[in-house]
Structure 1
Amino acid sequence: MSAPRPLDPALLAALLTTLATALLYAAGWSYAYHFYDRLNLGLIGLEIPLEYHFIYGFWALRWGWWLLIPLAIGRLAWPRHGARWTAWLRGALPLWLPLAFLGLYALGWGAARADYREHAAGGFTHYPLVRVWLKEEKGTGGAAPRLTRLTEWLREGGYRLLVEGKSRIYLVKTGGGAEPSVVVIPAGEIRAMRVVPVNPGR
């Protein structure tokens, strides 16, 4: 039985790049899904740009830096065992490929869980404070007391900008040991908005 022919180096590089990109996206999607799910927010409504998932993927890999250890060991041992490993990877492709995606999905989940705990405990101080002035509605006969207080808090900068989408913004507020609260404001209801940058040293 003849040995399998080695792949063309250019084709191999293209396949590995495609696989790495897909795995990075899987980790980033999992991170975003599980992070915002803690705030009861769905990814579709958030309108997060596609490229942001790759950034989230790098955040997940940063949290799982320990994965670099076996990869570094494998890279050092590749010149000696590369041919045998390549044959094994080809034969076990239906097994290790789904496991790789599941592993990166779990990595995104773990990173999102850890980062959410950190942000919630710190009052989401990594996100910028924002002051929002809403458009006034005429002929409403006065707003409810809760809505009036919310409008005042928005003007005073009591919320932090969580996500700014094309059609709406998402603000988060913590305090008093309570669970974080999220306010969703349609872009058409905003008269003006001022974002206070976060201290770069944080």
Structure 2
Amino acid sequence: MTERQQQRSPSSGAGAAPAPPPGDADAESGPTVLGFAPDTAEDDETVEPVADGTAARVAVGSDRLAYVRRPDLVGGLLLLLAGVADAASVWLPWDRDGDVSGLSLVVRAVDAAPEGIAELGRTGLWQPAAVAAGGVVLLVLGLLLLRPARGHRVSGVLALGVALAVAAAVVGRLVDVGWDARSFGPGAWCAVAVAGLGALGALKAVLTAPRVTTVPAERLLVG
């Protein structure tokens, strides 16, 4: 065997495996996950530069639902008008031909309260007292409806109950006068307005559904 044959590489024989191409070596030099190249960034993350010139990864999520806090202007205004009508019913006479104001009837009802509910029912003094107290409650609930909130259904339910109590007092007064509405004075008609305005404002608050909107998700620095 000549010296030239001895210096020949063993891999140059017929049974030697071919060398891998340069391109394959470069592809396999990087890190892999189960044979696949790893992702450089997640779908819900973006890379943004920061003040020092480096790159920061910011997570961006989907939009979320949020309630809109708002006042119920219509319902609150109706309840406030019911409170104004209640103040008028206190100062105006309840009988068409009489000069007895609602305030004097309320004072008499307070004086007769220690004698029991039966006495108030017999004399009919509970009616102006219920109207006066209900109008004050409706006025307070009207102020609550003017405050921004997710919904005003709780205040609306309370206002509806108070308005029904005032309406019961008005019907009781009508029964006492023999269903003759012509005997009603200005104060009694103001009591009717308290019941009507209170019921309308309460229904407006109860039937108004909360408003929902979408709010962009917050951008969080994760790395």
Q: TM-score, normalised by structure 1?
A: 0.23
Return the structure number with greater relative CO, CA threshold 8 A, min gap 6: 2
Q: TM-score, normalised by structure 2?
A: 0.21
Rg bigger for which structure?
Answer: 2
